[in-house]
Structure 1
Amino acid sequence: MPRVVVFDETGGPEVLRIVEEPVVEPAAGEVRVRIEAFAVNPLDRMVRAGQSPRPVRLPHARLGVEGTGVVDALGAGVTGLAVGDPVILGAVPDFETKGAYAEYTTVLASRVVPRPASVDVLGAAALWVAYFTAYGALVEKAGMRPGDRVLITAASGGVGRAAIQIANQIGAVPIAVTRHTAKQESLLAAGAAAVIATDREDVAEFTRLHTGGKGADIVLDAVMGPGLAELSLAAKLGGTLATVGWLDPRPASFPANPSLTVHRYMAFADMTDPEIVRRVAAFLAAGVRTGVLRPAVDRVFGLNDIIEAHRYLEKGTSAGKIVVTV
C-alpha cells in the first residue's frame, strides 16, 4: 500500500513516522495525484511542533502544503484535466488530512496547476509556495514596478531567493539582506544587485548607501520580531513594507517609519482566488520558460529520510528549498 507520513503528537522531528494507507478514490470535483516530490516548509515545522496558527487535529495528522506529481485519477465532474497530466499542487486544502507528504493525495481539481514543461520535478516541488508568496507580496500587494529598489530580508531562504528573481524579471533592483557575510557571494550569483550582511553592516545605513540616500521603495520582510522597527527605517518616506513570514517568533515591534504603507501578506488566502492563481501561474510559467526564474533546491532527501529532512530544516542553514522525492 502507498506510504504516508503522519504524526500522533506534536514535538520534534522524531514524532514523524511512515505508515501505509489504502489509495483513496477522489470525490466529485477532486483529482488524485501520484506525488513525485514535495517541499519541506517552515509551516510544516510549526505544525509538527505544535506552533501552528490553528489547532492541529491529532492523532494521525499529516503535513505538506506543496508538491508535484501526475494526475492518477479523476473524480466525477472534473474537466480540463486528464490522467497522466503533470501538475503542481497549487494549495493543499485541509493539509492535515490530505497533505503532500505521501505517495498519493487527493485535492480539489481547482487546486492544481499545470507543471511547466521547462521545469524538472525537483524545481516544480520548490516552485509554488515560495514564488507565489514573493509574487503576491511584491506585485499584487506592494505594486512593484521597474526601477523600484526592493530590500529583501532572509534572502537566502526560498521566498527570499524567489523575490530576487521576480524583482529582476520585473526590472526592479533587489537588495538582499542576510545574517552571514559568507552568503554574500551566493546571493550576488542568485541575482541580487547588492547584499547587506547584518553581522557587519547596519541595514538602514547600507540601504541608503545603495539607494543614493533615499531608502528602499519596498521592503519585503520574512522575519518580523523586535527588529521590525529598525528595519522600517531602511525604507524611504512613503515607501511600502510587506511582511510575509515570522522567522522571529517574538512580538513584532511597531514600524518606526510612520509614513509606510504596511501589508501583512498571507499567500494561502490568495491561493484560493482563481484569478490570482491564474495570474501567478502565467507569470511563473513565463519566468521558468525564459530562465529568469530558477527554483533553488538546497538539499534533496528520500521519503524514508523525512526525519532527517526536518532536522536539516531546523538548523536554519539552507540556501533554498528542501525537497523530498517519493
Structure 2
Amino acid sequence: MSTTLPTSQKALYLPAVKQPLVIKDAPVRQPSAGEVLVRNESVALNPIDWKLQASLMPRKLSDFPLILGYDGSGVVVSIGDDVANVKVGDRVFYEGELGGNGENATFQQYTIVPAHLVGKVPSNISFDQAATLPVGLATAAVGLYQDKFEFGGAGLLAPWLDGGRGRYTNEPIFIIGGAACTGQAAIMFAKLSGFNPIITTSSPHNFALLKSLGADYTLDRNENLRSVEAYTTLPLYNAFDAVGSAESQTVAQRVLSPGGTLISVHPNSIPHAKQDISKKILFMWGSMHSPQNKKLATNLFESIYGLLESGDIKPNNVEYVPGGLNAVENQLKHLQRGEVSGKKIIVRPSETV
C-alpha cells in the first residue's frame, strides 16, 4: 500500500572522511516486508555526525559515500507486507542507521525503517520535537534496561513492563551529563522507575531544565565530586554516564558502592591501575537496529505513544535552523565546538535546495 511517490530525493552525503558534506540525488526505495517508508519532516543533529566526518568514529572505506543522520520524524507514506503496527498517514519518529545503500539514514527526504523501530507521535508533540527523541531514548533504554551482557545494560526492569513502574523507589541513581539528549532520557526513565534521589551533573544553566525532568539534585559538572553522601546515605549501585570520558567514568566509579554498576556511552577508558574490580563498568550499544535489542525496542516503541501523550517522556528543547540539509554542515561545526547544550538542532529536509 502506498501513495504516489517521487523516484528520487535529496540526500546529504559524506564522500570520505574529513571531506565536506555534499547534497546529491538518491533513489526513493519502496519498503520490503516488515519495513515502512517515512517522508522525513524533521531530522536532528548528533555529535556522532561530526565525529564520523572527522574520522573519530572509524568506518570502512567501502562505506563511502555515506549518508549520515540518526534522528528522524515524519509521515509513513508506504508500508511493506506484514506490517500491522502503523499505517500510511501515521505520524512517527524513529532511529536511523548508517551503512549499506544509505536507505536507513535520516539526512535525506525519505527513509526506510524497520516497522518495529517506529514510534507513533501524539498530537501534542510536533515533528521538530519528535525528531529530538530517538537516539537519546534508545541509548538510555539500552543502558538502563537491557540485560547485563557485553554492549548491554544494567539489567533493570523497564517501567513500561508489568511491575516496572516505580520498582526502584528509595534507590539512588547517579547520572553524569544530564543535559545531553541521552542524559535527559535517562533522568526521565529513572523517574518512571522510581529512583530516589536522582543525582545528576551538568552546567549550572541547565539545572532548571533537569529538575523539570525529574532530577532531585543537580551538581556542577566541574565540581570535584568525591562522594554522594551529601545527597543520599543509601548505597549507590547504579550510575549512568552520558559523557563517556575517562574523567566521567573515574568520577562514577569513585562514588559507586562496591558491587555497583556503571553504564557508559563509551568503552571503559579508566587506566588499568585505577580500575576498581569491585565495580562493574559496561559499555551500552544504543542502536535499536542491533538484533540483540529487538525485543527491548519493540516493547519501548509500542509504549512510547502513551508516555509522550501523558508528558511522562518529554522531547528535548528544539533549535530549528532553516535551510534544510544545506544547513547541516555549518551546524555540525557548532556541535563540534561544544556550543550546543540542553537542546537539539533540527532541520527540515523538505527545505533542501
Q: How would you bin the TM-score normalised by the shorter chain?
A: 0.7 to 0.9
Residue 39 of structure 1: aligned partner:
44
CA contact (8 A) 1:66 1:92 kept: no
**Corresponding letter in the other structure for 1:191:** G
**Corresponding letter in the other structure for 2:263:** A
Residue 127 of structure 1: aligned partner:
133
Q: Give 5+ residue unaligned stretches, structure 2.
A: 1-7, 147-152, 158-167
Q: Relative to structure 1, is the Cα distance of residues 259 and 286 closer, same or farther in structure 2, using a 3 angstrom cutoff?
A: farther
Q: Relative to structure 1, is the Cα distance of residues 127 and 211 closer, same or farther in structure 2, using a 3 angstrom cutoff?
A: same
CA distance in 1, matches of 2:208, 2:32: 49
Q: Give 5+ residue unaligned stretches, structure 1.
A: none
CA contact (8 A) 2:97 2:289 kept: no
- 1:152 alignment partner, SS class: strand
Superposition deviation, residue 130 in structure 1:
0.4
Equivalent of 1:263 in 282, 286, 292 = 282
CA distance in 2, matches of 1:169, 1:287: 10
The runs of at least 4 aligned residues of structure 1 exceeding 6 Å deviation read: none
Superposition deviation, residue 160 in structure 1:
0.7
Residue 151 of structure 1: aligned partner:
174
CA distance in 1, matches of 2:319, 2:328: 12
Residue 92 of structure 1: aligned partner:
97
TM-score (norm 2): 0.80
Q: Relative to structure 1, is the Cα distance of residues 298 and 108 closer, same or farther in structure 2, using a 3 angstrom cutoff?
A: closer
Equivalent of 1:10 in 17, 42, 46 = 17
Matched, 1:197 2:204: no
TM-score (norm 1): 0.86
Equivalent of 1:274 in 270, 287, 294 = 294
1:222-301 aligned within 5 A: 222-227=242-247, 228-245=249-266, 251-254=269-272, 256-268=275-287, 271-272=290-291, 273-301=293-321
CA distance in 2, matches of 1:30, 1:283: 19
Deviations 1:103-162 (A, max 9, x none): 112233344333344432122111122012112212333227222211111111101111
CA contact (8 A) 1:90 1:113 kept: no
Q: Relative to structure 1, is the Cα distance of residues 146 and 122 closer, same or farther in structure 2, using a 3 angstrom cutoff?
A: farther
Deviations 1:51-94 (A, max 9, x none): 2254254543110123111122234x243243222222244363
Equivalent of 1:176 in 180, 196, 200 = 200
1:309-320 aligned within 5 A: 309-316=331-338, 317-320=340-343
CA distance in 1, matches of 2:207, 2:100: 36
Superposition deviation, residue 36 in structure 1:
0.8
- 1:87 alignment partner, SS class: strand
**Corresponding letter in the other structure for 2:246:** P
Q: Relative to structure 1, is the Cα distance of residues 190 and 79 closer, same or farther in structure 2, using a 3 angstrom cutoff?
A: closer
